[in-house]
Chains A and B, each alone.
Chain A
Amino acid sequence: MAEAAREARQPTPPERAGFGRRVAGALVRRREASIFLVGIGLVLYFSLTTDAFFGKENARVIAEFSAPLMIIAAGQVMLLICGEIDLSVGNVFAFSSWIFYFANTDWGLPIWLAVIAGLISGSIVGLANGLITVIVGVPSFITTLGMIFVLNGITLNISDGFPVETPGGETFFKWFGGSAYSTFYWALGVIVLMAILLGRTRWGLHTIATGGNFVGASESGVNVRAVKIGNFVICSTLGALAGMIEATRITSIQPLQGGTQVMFYAVAAAVIGGTSLFGGSGTIIGAALGVVVLAILNLGFIIKGVSAFTFDLVLGSAIIISMALNVTLERFRQSGWLARVS
């Protein structure tokens, strides 16, 4: 027994892994790297097979398509990591834009305070989602499924079902999504902040711990309920932000803006970017890259004249393949293969 112990306690010398295995290991560990390569590959493919793809105008189209999705995906990743989901974030997108509109036009708030009112309306929806899920114990899938219809009903009621022009002066438009790339800069800002929150703060660590081992995290004293509720609030608030800057970019507020379409794109991007729906792991950068890959695919298919039906087919396959890859990689990790490579 003592001999076995001595043997077990010898530090294992790091194995010199071959270049191929090291690259494979890095790709397995850093999902961001592999999704980045997929993006580069797609750009190359569409640039070589079409004349119209590579260019400044299209870069802007991709950036502006991506921006609101990136913001929503960033919040969704936090929730997915702690083991929950928010299906209603796409409806906050529209709802909060209308609150922003009424705050400025009816309640007479200055335009930036109206933005804050819009954000707060998103936070309140998130708080409701969080309390119903965590305190009452309704699964988040059901809570937020119900919230989709509740928000849609409210939005259609307060808007009378007709679009309005986005309020605000020239300076406001310039800074809040109206000028070229402006929505994308907001998205980049959100991505950087959220990546720091997830990767560099106690909140992020506790989010991972809550999703990775709920019982264990609470045994260690992590306030798992607060973590979940807080991430519901973060997710919905970001949904509100995304909705408002998009409303500024397209200069109108629509009753049916966003909706489940943007929510599902954001979840798809998160999954493609390496976030597991089982909770406990995920990356903000991966989700952002996942959004960009979806945007490239979308535009590339349009330029190649592939129909929207086919885009859905590819998107669906990408989600399933990504998830299958995730599950398989997890098995590799559990088997200790990675430990030997690194």
Chain B
Amino acid sequence: MSEAPEATGAPPSGVPDAIRVEHIRKRFGAVTALEDVNLRLGQGEVLGLIGDNGAGKSTLVKILTGFHKPDGGTIHVFGEEVQLRSVTHARELGIDTVFQDLALVPGLTVFHNMFLNRELTHGIGPIRFLNNRVMKRRSREYLEDIGVRIPSMDSEVAQLSGGQRQAIAIARSTHSDARIILLDEPLAAMGAREGALIIELIQELKQRSDVSMIVIAHNYVHVLELCDRVNLLRNGRILLDKRTDETSVEELTAIVAAEYRLPKSA
């Protein structure tokens, strides 16, 4: 790997950046989670983030969602340098995260989950009632529009499959005007059929090209299928940055395997 150029993470030229991260560092006590991360996410791009447990993927995502503050380095969102103060602040800038727990409420209907905390109401003055009819209609229209089939908007989320729940969580992000979505292992613990549903949804959203995504994943097949570009994070640095059409599962596997051997031989 010594001949590999330093990975800076560059989207295709001409595409403006949705996110540009430069020299981000983060330590937790004695543990260095992120050493020096440089990463760029182009607008409309889907970037895969791979690396084994402890490589710093979660830390990076939590910094980009405003959950952790970095110790150093800069973050630009849509060209402007920002200090992400909180999850709410990140969301105001258009960055939303679909965590693995999905933040859905199992006992509520699909449309109430779609509008959670952004509920539409009608009424007189301060006396407001939920406008279920409109929320239901808009949820149905939006989900149909992006190709997510849910039998009924009145279904409780508890009754839906893992894939359907994941789809609703992603759809809720895009529906709430998120421009950058961070997906934390959207395909973990999902069957082929379920996974296919999510892959198609992400591809559908990608085609609209107004949403940029960072997808954390372990499965290289999924990464190659889903993403335009892949970054490998290891020991708090981006060690590889490749377009997915210029690499293969074999190459990624070989590189990761080599990386595992490297520290011992070096």
> Chain A: residues with CB nearer than 8 A to chain B?
1-2, 4-5, 7-12, 14, 196, 200-202, 205-206, 208-209, 212-213, 215-217, 219-222, 280-281, 333-334, 336, 338-339, 342
Contact = CB atoms under 8 A, between A and B. Distances in A.
B106 interface: yes
A144 B163 CA distance: 41
Interface in B194-213: 194, 196-197, 199-200
Contacts of A280: 105-107
Top 8 nearest A-B pairs (CB, nearest first) are A216-B103, A5-B196, A212-B105, A339-B159, A219-B103, A212-B107, A221-B117, A280-B107
B117 A212 contact: no
Contact of B199 (A1, A281, A334): A1
Contacts of A336: 159, 161
**Chain A binding surface, main DSSP class:** helix
Contacts, number: 101
Interface in B154-195: 155-156, 158-161, 163, 192-194
B149 A201 contact: no
Interface of B: 87-88, 91, 99, 101-108, 112, 116-117, 119, 121, 128-130, 147-149, 151-152, 155-156, 158-161, 163, 192-194, 196-197, 199-200, 225
B105 A4 contact: no
Contact of B197 (A5, A14, A213, A217): A5
Contacts of B148: 9
B193 A209 contact: no
A2 B101 contact: no
Contacts of A209: 105, 108, 116
Contact of B151 (A12, A217, A221): A12
B12 to A, nearest CB: 26
Given A201-B130, A205-B119, A11 B149 contact: yes
Contacts of A201: 121, 128-130
A336 B151 CA distance: 13
Nearest to A81: B107
5 contacts: A200-B130, A208-B107, A213-B103, A216-B102, A220-B117
Given A205-B130, A339-B151, 13 more contacts: A1-B225, A5-B200, A8-B197, A9-B200, A205-B116, A209-B105, A212-B108, A213-B101, A216-B104, A216-B105, A220-B116, A220-B117, A339-B159
